[in-house]
Amino acid sequence: MEHIDPVNKFHPNDPFKKTMVPSQFFNIDTKKDNVVEAENGTLIVVPKGCFKNAKGKIVEENVEIELAEAFAMKDMLLSNLMTTSNGELLETGGMIYLNVTANGEQLNISKENPLYVEIPTQKRISGMMAYKGERDENGNMNWVDPQPLETFLQPVDLDLLDFLPEGFENAVQMGMPYKGRTYADKELVDSLYYCLSFVNFFEITKYLEQVEYNEPYNNSNKRVVDGKYTEESYQYGNHVTGDSAVYDTLSKLCIDPAIIKTIKSGPYQNTLIATKEFEMRLQFIFKTCQNSILKIYINNLDKNLWELDSMAADAIRNLNPPYLEDSDVWRFDHWKSEMDSLSLVFRSFSNQELTNIKEADKYSQLLKGYYETRLSEVRAELEGAQRKFVASLQERQAVVKAVSDDYKTLLWKREKYRMEKYGFIWSQNGWINVDVGTIPKTWAPQRLEILVEQGKEYDQVYTYVIYTSLKSLYRLNTADNELFYVGNQDERVMNMPKKQAAIAISIAYKNEQSYLAVKEFKTGTSSLAMALTVSTKVEIQQTISKYDGYAEANRIDKDIGYMTFFAEEKKRQQELMSEKEFVGQLLMVACSCGFKTYGL
């Protein structure tokens, strides 16, 4: 038989029974583990088979747990829960009433398989004890039989813990839309954080091919080497680029996201890693920028949390700042002050004297050797994703370069055709003709600007001049899709026939709609204005088909085909650079310690 003492919240004649703190009731299945959380935060871990009846047998039916919480002063006063033990005053950390029954029968709690009770507190006080309460019929309380508290940590589902640097998720949400997604779910947020482990910002800009070209003759940066134009001679636009040095330096001053991905996985579910207490400490570990501090906790899962906190406090105080010169006194002092403050935080954590989860040693043994193996796998996975991404950039760059080379060949032919028509002896002395040439009296350098009205409102605008007397095509340059000019931006002149018929054609696109403007003029006119009107692709094709008999290099449809390809590529590159800047901003959030300390 099992001896069971009657458990009464209060006696029938208790003068405080009407103002006694109310009870909460929980019905649980004893055939499985349960966790009960009360209204004011009391947590009771109920392992299966932990209750016994009067016959000493394990109860396998549903039971009712009655729980009352008295944490506020008014509840203690109205319930007359005086904090004295045999006449001596006690310092209370909170009081609860607990009773378990099954069908009205009083039950015992197994001493071999007890409950785990956790009472919430804003500040843990060292030396706290658990007292058993004895209440007499007059409502007087006496607290007896003190027992030391076992401050076991309680694991929670790893998926419910926030292992991201402070502000990271919000930064992702603020950066939406991203790659067509308007909302950042948990999977996207995590993937963006983990990718920071191997993101290489230099690689993003390294494989972007120049996509803006024009005839070299009037380009200010043209050069002729071995009788041929250099690659740079064809370029007149600004290449999409960006400063990657800051980001690549900053990425070395972070807690490695690959480590976070490694520990936020199933095998760590039954360790101190999967606790709210570690979650809190991780936010301060992020501020150290040191993987070594995080590894103190990962590599010592069998130790008590307070021991690890103490080790972390000592290690932080003895850290040396990476990438700082001795002469950089201001940054060194600032960094040292930050570390001293963090060391004190971990010292205060240690003073809480938190232990570990139950059976911590068993799980730490199982995980020995797992961490390094799994970390290598995670890094290989993340690095593989980065290599795959870079490979896609290389593959696309090869395609763009091939098209660009074809287009530069076409431009060479277009310019060569016009120069020959003007009377240059191109084939024998090409380098002389490119720079000087023999200028016949029938043509001369002339200025020409074409204003495409409201051109800035369109996605793409292309403006051409056709010299009909030569059957020659020239695409004008622009910096804003509105003012177009021949030659380079500074001089805006080119060699053209004198007082000959010419045609200006502007073709524009906005979303899926196309627009067209055509104007005939005489060379020597220095400026024109063009008004675009809505046009169908068929109408545009009919307009430019008049020149299909020209040499391939001088056909508008051929040039438009290249321009369409380059416009799509430029948009892709701009999107890629926007993504790079977005990820760079996320890196600044993830590595805020490095960003603030080093002024990056």
pLDDT at 142 over 70: yes
pLDDT at 438 over 60: no
Mean pLDDT of 453-469: 95
Pairing relation of β-strands 533-535 and 513-522?
antiparallel
Residue 243 domain-assigned (yes or no): no
**pLDDT (tens digit, 9 = 90+) per residue, 113-133?**
888 777 776 555 556 667 677
Q: What is the pLDDT of residue 444?
A: 84
pLDDT at 439 over 50: no
How many domains are contained in the chain? 1
**pLDDT (tens digit, 9 = 90+) per residue, 55-110?**
889 989 999 999 888 888 888 888 787 665 555 545 566 788 889 999 989 898 88
Q: What is the pLDDT of residue 488?
A: 87
Inter-CA distances, 226 with 230, 233, 407, 432, Å: 9, 14, 21, 11
Pairing relation of β-strands 527-530 and 449-452?
parallel
Residue 413 domain-assigned (yes or no): no
pLDDT at 227 over 60: yes
Instruction: Say which range, 147-151, 309-313, 390-394, has the weakest mean pLDDT.
Output: 147-151
Under a CB-based contact definition with an 8 Å cutoff, are residues 548 and 210 in contact? no
Residue 114 domain-assigned (yes or no): yes
Q: How far is residue 555's CA from residue 545's CA, in Å, rounded to a whole number? A: 9
Alpha helix locations (H) across 218-328?
245-250, 257-263, 276-286, 291-298, 305-317
pLDDT at 421 over 90: no
Under a CB-based contact definition with an 8 Å cutoff, are residues 49 and 113 in contact? yes
Residue 65 domain-assigned (yes or no): yes
| DSSP classification of residue 591 | T
Q: What is the pLDDT of residue 5?
A: 66
Containing domain of residue 80, as a range? 24-148
Spatial CA neighbour of 237 closest among 198, 263, 211, 215:
211
The model's confidence at residue 138, banded by pLDDT at 50, 70 and 90, is: confident
Q: How far is residue 515's CA from residue 531's CA, in Å, rounded to a whole number? A: 10
The beta strands (E) that lie in 183-265 are given as 224-225, 228-229
CA angle 527, 530, 532 (to 5 degrees): 165
**Which one has a higher pLDDT value, 457 or 2?**
457
Residue 323 domain-assigned (yes or no): no
Indicate the pTM of the whole model.
0.69
**pLDDT (tens digit, 9 = 90+) per residue, 366-386?**
777 788 888 999 999 998 988
Instruction: Say which range, 321-325, 348-352, 523-527, 576-580, has the weakest mean pLDDT.
Output: 321-325
Residue 89 domain-assigned (yes or no): yes
Token pair recorded at residue 520: 């005939």
Residue 49 domain-assigned (yes or no): yes
Mean pLDDT of 215-222: 81
pLDDT at 191 over 80: yes
State residue 536 phi and psi, 5-degree precision: -90, 160
The model's confidence at residue 428, banded by pLDDT at 50, 70 and 90, is: very low
Mean pLDDT of 390-419: 91
Q: What is the pLDDT of residue 358?
A: 75
Residue 546 domain-assigned (yes or no): no
Q: What is the pLDDT of residue 598?
A: 52
Under a CB-based contact definition with an 8 Å cutoff, are residues 462 and 484 in contact? no
- Let me know if 427 is exposed, middle or buried by CB neighbors in 10 A (0-12, 13-18, 19+): exposed
Q: What is the pLDDT of residue 45?
A: 77
Distant-in-sequence contacts of 107-111, Cβ < 8 A, 24+ apart: 107/4, 107/51, 107/52, 107/53, 107/59, 107/63, 108/2, 108/4, 108/51, 108/52, 108/53, 109/50, 109/51, 109/52, 110/49, 110/50, 110/51, 110/52, 110/58
pLDDT at 504 over 90: yes
Mean pLDDT of 436-448: 68
- Let me know if 212 is exposed, middle or buried by CB neighbors in 10 A (0-12, 13-18, 19+): middle
The mean pLDDT value of the chain amounts to 84
State residue 521 phi and psi, 5-degree precision: -155, 170
The model's confidence at residue 216, banded by pLDDT at 50, 70 and 90, is: confident
Q: How far is residue 379's CA from residue 53's CA, in Å, rounded to a whole number? A: 54
